[in-house]
Amino acid sequence: MRSDQEIRDGLRSWIRSKSLDGEGDRLTDGTALFEERYLRSVHLPELLLLLERLCGEPIDVEELNPRDFRSIDAMVRRYGRAGVAS
C-alpha cells in the first residue's frame, strides 16, 4: 500500500487529467469533485480501479458510499492507510 500522500498525488493527477478546459488548476484536496463537475458519474468505474491500484486492495462495491468520493480528502480518509485499518 502506498502512503496517503502518494494516494493524494495519484488521485490529484488523475482528476486533473479528466478535468475540462484547465479547470484542474483550481483543484484542492477539499474540492467537491462531482458537485463542481471535476468528475462525472461516467468516471466512477475508472476511479475505483485507480483507488484499488493505489491502495493495493480491492474495494467492496457493496460498501460504497457517495460521500466517500466527495473529495480527495474523503477518499484518502476512507481508502488510505487509516481507512483501511478501521
37-58: per-residue pLDDT in tens? 999 999 999 999 999 999 999 9
Mean pLDDT of 75-79: 95
Place of cell 474523503: 74
pLDDT band at 20 (very low <50, low <70, confident <90, very high): confident
76 residue type, one letter: V
**Which structural domain range is residue 59 located in?**
4-85
CATH of the domain at 60: 1.10.1200.10
CB atoms within 10 A of CB 29: 13
Return the DSSP state at 56: T
User: Which grid coordinates are listed for 53?
Assistant: 491500484
Kindly report the pTM of this predicted structure.
0.87
CB atoms within 10 A of CB 82: 11
pLDDT attached to residue 55: 92
26 residue type, one letter: R
**Average pLDDT, rounded, for the chain:** 89
Work out how many domains the chain is built from and give that number.
1
